[in-house]
Amino acid sequence: MFLVTGAAGNVGERVVKQLAETGRPQRALVRTAEQAVVTEALGVETLVGDLTRPADRQAALAGVESVIACHTAVHSSGFDEPLFVDGQATEALIEEAVAAGVRHYVMLSHVAVEQESGSGWLAGLRGAERELRSQEGMAYTILRLTPLMTELVRLPLTGNPGKSHSLLVFGNGRNRIAPVSPRDAANLAVRCAVRHEALDELLAVAGPETYTWDEMAGLYSRAYDVPVASWKLPRFFLALARRIVSIFNVPAAERLAAFELLFSGDLVADPAVVAGRFGLELEDLVTYLRR
């Protein structure tokens, strides 16, 4: 049996649907009864639970041979701290998976995980990766994703620039980004889990094209066939906002840190490594936006 955590997320929901189409037994772990309606409609065994609770983790792992871990707190709307969920709770899940006899654990991580940015989310991911790689008796596959394309249609202040007709860029606009489609991330996660490919490997996963933020307004314009104006502000404003918000809402500050990461450096990888090796035809950003 497969366990899919974060089964209501952008990647997790697609993983569940792909596994359901193959008829493979799986258990979907979701946070709310409302989310469970979607997975149960697919005929998937669903557990409403919280990864931060030991009893829920143990119930989720019962009878499981493979885990596809798609959960994260940083892009959710709840109040869980990413350092706790993506770090401590995930480390506990990994240890308990080994004890439960799980044979293979596929983890979604981030291409910038090794950056010392002060982000609790990235620190949590680093700790979870170390924990996973240190285990004996359970194979792992770590997929370090570039930013998901879904992040680019829910930007703070402007939302989807193709609909708001405005794009706010923080910094000089020259840093590069190679966003990956959630469909492609799900395809790769399922393939690694089902076919047992890339065992005990760490893979950087990117979309097929690399852009600078200076080019992004033109991409939105082309995808939606509307004019999109681009505005720039110093990245300092984001860092300042994050520090202020952290005083009264740490999870919200972590989500701002994840947004700040989009403008803090190059978030890229060689797409040919994954596309060539696995025979995947990767979706480009304009196609994703139009869809």
pLDDT value at 56 more than 70? yes
Single-letter residue type at 77: S
pLDDT tens by residue, 72-83: 987 765 546 777
What pLDDT score does 81 carry? 77
Q: Euclidean distance between the first and final Cα of the chain, in Å?
A: 32
What pLDDT score does 77 carry? 55
Report the range of poorest mean pLDDT among 37-41, 237-241, 247-251, 280-284.
247-251
Spatial contact of 104 and 140, defined as CB atoms under 8 Å apart: yes
Whether residue 154 is contained in a domain is answered as no
What pLDDT score does 80 carry? 63
Whether residue 24 is contained in a domain is answered as yes
Host domain of residue 139 = 2-149+181-208+267-282
Q: Quick one: three-class SS letters along the chain?
A: CEEEECCCCCCHHHHHHHHHHHCCCEEEEECCHHHHHHHHHCCCEEEECCCCCHHHHHHHHCCCCEEEECCCCCCCCCCCCHHHHHHHHHHHHHHHHHHCCCCEEEEEEECCCCCCCCCHHHHHHHHHHHHHHHCCCCEEEEEEECCEHHHHHCECCCECHHHHCEEEEECCCCCEECCECHHHHHHHHHHHHHHCCCCCEEEEECCCCCEEHHHHHHHHHHHHCCCCEEEEECCHHHHHHHHHHHCCCHHHHHHHHHHHHCCCCCECCCHHHHHHHHCCCCCCHHHHHHC
Whether residue 218 is contained in a domain is answered as no
pLDDT tens by residue, 135-147: 999 999 999 999 9
What pLDDT score does 74 carry? 79
pLDDT tens by residue, 176-194: 999 999 999 999 999 999 9
Mean pLDDT of 165-180: 96
d(C-alpha 172, C-alpha 163), whole Å: 23
Q: What is each CA distance from 79 to 73, 187, 260, in whole angstroms?
A: 8, 29, 19
Spatial contact of 62 and 102, defined as CB atoms under 8 Å apart: no
What's the mean pLDDT when you consider all of the chain? Answer: 93
**Residue 84, domain CATH:** 3.40.50.720
Q: Enter the tokens of residue 166.
A: 């405005």
Which of 163, 169, 172, 73 is closest to 125 using CA atoms? 73
Whether residue 243 is contained in a domain is answered as no
Domain count within the chain: 1
Whether residue 229 is contained in a domain is answered as no
pLDDT value at 93 more than 70? yes
Whether residue 254 is contained in a domain is answered as no
Whether residue 258 is contained in a domain is answered as no
Which of 268, 269, 245, 247 is closest to 257 using CA atoms? 245
Whether residue 66 is contained in a domain is answered as yes
Q: Enter the tokens of residue 275.
A: 């596309």
Q: Which residue has the tokens 């193959």?
A: 22
Main-chain dihedrals φ then ψ at residue 163, nearest 5 degrees: -105, -30
